[in-house]
Amino acid sequence: MSRSVGRRVVITGMGLISPLGLTPDELWSGLIEGRSAVGPIGLFPTDGLPLHHGAEARGFTGEIDNFGPLETEVKKAIRKGLKVMCRESQMAVAAAQRALHSCGLTAADRVPERFGCVFGSDYMLTLPEDFTAGVARCQGAGGGFDFDRWATDGMPLLNPLWLLKYLPNMPASHIAIYNDLRGPSNSLTVREASGHVAIGEATMTIQRGAADVMLAGATGTRVHPMKTVHALQSEQVALGADDPAGWSRPFDRNRRGMVLGEGAAVLVLEELEHALRRGATIHGEVLGHASRHAADSHNLGLRRKALGLSLGRALEMANLPAGRPGHVHAHGLSTVGGDRSEAEAIGDVLGQDSAAVPVVAAKANFGNLGAGSGLVECIASLLAMRHGTLFPLLNFQSPDPECAIRAAVAGDPAGASFVSSSVTPQGQAGSVVIAGWNLGA
């Protein structure tokens, strides 16, 4: 079944918060120059942890200037609301405001009922300091925690609006309220697959006529006191005493785990005729999308199967004229088993073409941003198509016979389209196919 020939969905704006910078140009410079964003963790003390390096979005401090150009009333509202946003929500709102500014659709030009938002996130965890004062107040005579005192002595020291900081539906809520978006709204929590799934849902919302413009976004982090510990306990994380800039090495034979990062990104999706009528700049068109899940009886993700199903369906829907994408933007987690499963899935779907289609993975530059990864990576590929060239797969030095991919090198053409995918350890996968607008719209 090929893609719909009805309402076409194009990309007219993009915004991001990433470890390589807060603008698309900064992201592109870091990628094309082969820079790593991995450095010492400064967001929280790492004493007692075996990991002291990650890819923080160091340019994002949460100050109002980080949110890009803002209309006066929106600026006031966001500044007031910062106290009820955790860092992930703040990054989400900042990326959304930057995307809205870039698309050129001002508040006066919007039809609120025809403008919606789909936003993905990780599970959001509180910071230890939100509880420390209350816990300290309940310390018993022997130094232990006296639970009987919590309700009367501990809880009153919690911020009354504490819960609002960490609900995963808050990014979409904040963004819709600040910008008066009254169209369809939804929140997704499918970890790393969230961004790709958000693009798919937003695209279908426009195609069925429920909206003319949608924000598709995702925000996430693995650089967090609790999430870092969780990752160290449950996933393969790169560690060592060598230069951390070389830790993230997707598909390389000597890879030893992922790097932890943080970030957010938003795409403005718009019905084609609506975009043309207002003279919008078009960056690309969504041709295909799919989300799939595969797991065994113990709920362990079957990543090869899940990725193969989502990749295959997205490419089938796109019905690309050349039959294959110009490049693949891989999930590229840099774990031993994860990369092997992904390389196998790419081979399953592309067959002999997998030897010719170049593969990039921006996680080599900035690690795993959690739910924020997929959309930052889509923006990276959109920029590659704009510039006509791919950025190299950083740190890829020794091919792995078990990862039969064609790693991108400097100077490789980006092509007229790309497919991008993400997958979770639980086997939830999402894929999108996007074509460059000026390359054969």
Would residue 73 count as lying in a domain?
yes
Q: Is residue 30 part of a domain?
A: yes
Q: What local confidence, expressed as pLDDT, does residue 1 receive?
A: 32
34, 145: one domain: no
Look at residue 4 and tell me if it is in a domain: no
Q: Hey, what are 118's tokens?
A: 């789909």
pLDDT of residue 392: 96
Provide, rounded to the nearest whole percent, the portion of the chain with pLDDT above 90: 86
Mean pLDDT, the chain, whole residue set = 94
Are residues 333 and 420 located together in one domain of the fold?
A: yes
Report the pLDDT averaged over residues 387-394: 97
pLDDT tens per residue across span 217-251:
999 999 999 999 999 999 999 999 999 999 999 99
Residue 3 domain flag: no
Residues 159 and 231 in one domain: no
Q: Does residue 433 share a domain with residue 339?
A: yes
Per-residue pLDDT at 160: 82
Q: How confident is the model at residue 2, as a pLDDT?
A: 37
The residue-averaged pLDDT of 155-165 equals: 85
Shared domain for 140 and 208, answered yes or no, is no
- Co-location of 135 and 66 in the same domain: no
> Which amino acid would we find at residue 212?
D
Q: Model confidence at 383, in pLDDT bands (50, 70, 90)?
A: very high
Q: How confident is the model at residue 129 (pLDDT cuts 50, 70, 90)?
A: confident
**Strands in 251-355 per DSSP E:** 262-271, 284-293, 327-329
143 with 268, same domain?
Answer: no
pLDDT one-digit tens code per residue, 242-296: 999 999 999 999 999 999 999 999 999 999 999 999 999 999 999 999 999 999 9
**37 and 113 co-located in one domain:** yes
pLDDT in tens, 54-109: 999 999 999 999 999 999 999 999 999 999 999 999 999 999 999 999 999 988 89
Q: Is 14 buried (19+), middle (13-18) or exposed (0-12) by CB count in 10 A?
A: buried
In this structure, are 258 and 362 located in the same domain? yes
Residues 6+ apart with CB under 8 A from 276: none
Phi-psi region for residue 257, left (φ > 0), alpha (ψ -120 to 50) or beta?
A: left
Contact 1, 318 (CB under 8 A): no
Q: By percentage, how much of the chain surpasses pLDDT 70?
A: 98
Whether residue 2 lies inside any domain: the answer is no
- For the entire predicted model, the pTM comes to 0.95
pLDDT surpasses 80 at 204: yes
CATH of the domain at 353: 3.40.47.10
The number of distinct structural domains making up the chain is 2
Domain hosting 146: range is 129-163
Listing from the earlier edge strand, what are the strands of the sheet with 115-121? Answer: 185-188, 115-121, 213-221, 262-271, 9-17, 284-293, 428-436, 417-423, 327-329, 358-360, 406-407
- Same domain for 347 and 290: yes
Q: How confident is the model at residue 440 (pLDDT cuts 50, 70, 90)?
A: very low
pLDDT of 120 > 60? The answer is yes
Q: Give the SS3 label for residue 101.
A: helix
> With contact defined as beta carbons under 8 Å apart, do 417 and 326 qualify?
yes
Do residues 177 and 195 make contact, with C-beta atoms less than 8 angstroms apart? no
Predicted local distance difference test score (pLDDT) of residue 64: 96
| Residue 22, in any domain of the structure | yes
Identify whether residues 110 and 135 lie together within a single domain: no
Same domain, 391 and 403: yes
Q: Is residue 239 part of a domain?
A: yes
